[in-house]
Homo-oligomer: A and B are copies of this chain.
Amino acid sequence: LLMVVTSSDVDAAAIRIAPFVHRTPVITSQQLDRWANATVFCKAEHLQKAGAFKYRGATNAVQQLSASIAARGVAAHSSGNHAAALALAARTRGIAAHIVMPSNAPAVKRAAVESYGATITECEPQESARIAMLMEVCERTGAMEIHPFDNDQVIAGAGTAARELIDAVPDLDAIVVPVGGGGLLSGTCIAALGRGATRIAVFGAEPTGADDATRSVTAGVLIPQTQPNTICDGLFTSLSPRTFAIIREHVASMITVADTDTHDALVIAWTRTKQLIEPSSAIALAAVRSTPALHGKRVGVILSGGNVDPIFNSSIS
């Protein structure tokens, strides 16, 4: 198997995107540690620009476009964090971004994409309609598609979060990251190969209601997700052949997490660390707590994003 993305690609990405991204802090909490039964180091990518690690990969891809290709703009279909990340990465380079969003996308996510100056094209919510509309937009505008994870430059960019975490925290035993399309897990696996004094085990955390990566790793063959059902709205997607190849080779283990446990982790994170992370991030904290092999260890967790809409409960507070 040819490994396309290497740890030197992550190194190069780190240098390339450094002028544009936040070097996010690593947050610790004794109360969180007691809850998780481990010493947890949280890489705060919810404080990244556009509110998620996605800005790293989008920036790494957008910054590498040639001038002539960049001039035609970039495009993606996404209702989530990649849409906002790509919109901001494009604006930062001074080029157009075309985002295809399903008509049922939350108004707040649409507003974020608009606030970064992207052009939004609406489509029906089905995956097939989204892909068809994206092809139409790319053909009409000449824009280059930047896929949210099935893209080597995006994967290398995603890996820079783990690279910073490993450099900031000595002697990590493990890193746990959430898995949707597998871009963050792929990038983290590759970054971990190239950093740290000893081998760091990398784990993927997946909702029981969208556990295609777990089933794929177990079966040794890619099994796409059908009908995902989880509160982790950033983790609906299936792995691609590219991310599956990296993950099956390098992941220590997949961990599946029930939504009830993710919700508990969300409440703990909100109340103990006062950090407004999204469920798709909280799942990694829940995975630490539910995995005996991680207990008592020094565990890095990438808090992947903070794009969530909590409600202020004025009646009980």
Q: Are B278 and A231 in contact (CB under 8 A)?
A: no
- Chain B residues, Cβ within 8 Å of A270: 276, 310
The docked-state distance in angstroms from the alpha carbon of A307 to that of B307 is 21
Query: A148 on the interface (CB 8 Å rule)?
Result: no
A313 and B310 CA atoms in complex are apart in Å by: 6
CB-CB < 8 A to A178: which residues of B?
none
Instruction: Tell me, yes or no, whether A311 is within 8 Å of chain B by CB.
Output: yes
Interface size class of A (residues with CB under 8 A): 20 to 34
- A308 and B312 CA atoms in complex are apart in Å by 8
Q: How far is the CA of A233 from the CA of B271 in the complex (A)?
A: 17
Q: Does A306 touch B at the CB level, under 8 Å?
A: yes
A227 contact set on B, CB distance < 8 A: none
> From residue A49, how far is it (CB to closest CB) to chain B in Å?
10
Task: Mark A272-292 against chain B: 1 for CB-CB distance below 8 A, else 0.
Answer: 001111110000000000000
Q: Which residue of chain B has the shortest Cβ distance to A270 in the bound complex? A: B276
Evaluate contact between B106 and A316: CB separation under 8 angstroms. yes
A101 vs B317: C-alpha distance in the bound complex, in angstroms? 15
- Would you call A106 and B317 a contact (CB within 8 A)? yes
Which of the listed residues A278, A307, A316 has the most CB atoms from chain B within 10 Å of its own CB? A316
Q: List 25 A-B contacts (CB under 8 A).
A: A46-B274, A106-B316, A106-B317, A108-B271, A231-B312, A263-B312, A266-B312, A267-B312, A270-B310, A271-B309, A274-B275, A274-B277, A275-B276, A276-B310, A278-B317, A279-B312, A279-B314, A307-B317, A308-B312, A308-B317, A309-B317, A310-B310, A310-B311, A310-B312, A311-B311
Interface of A with B (CB < 8 Å)?
A: 46-47, 51, 106, 108, 231, 233, 263, 266-267, 270-271, 274-279, 306-314, 316-317
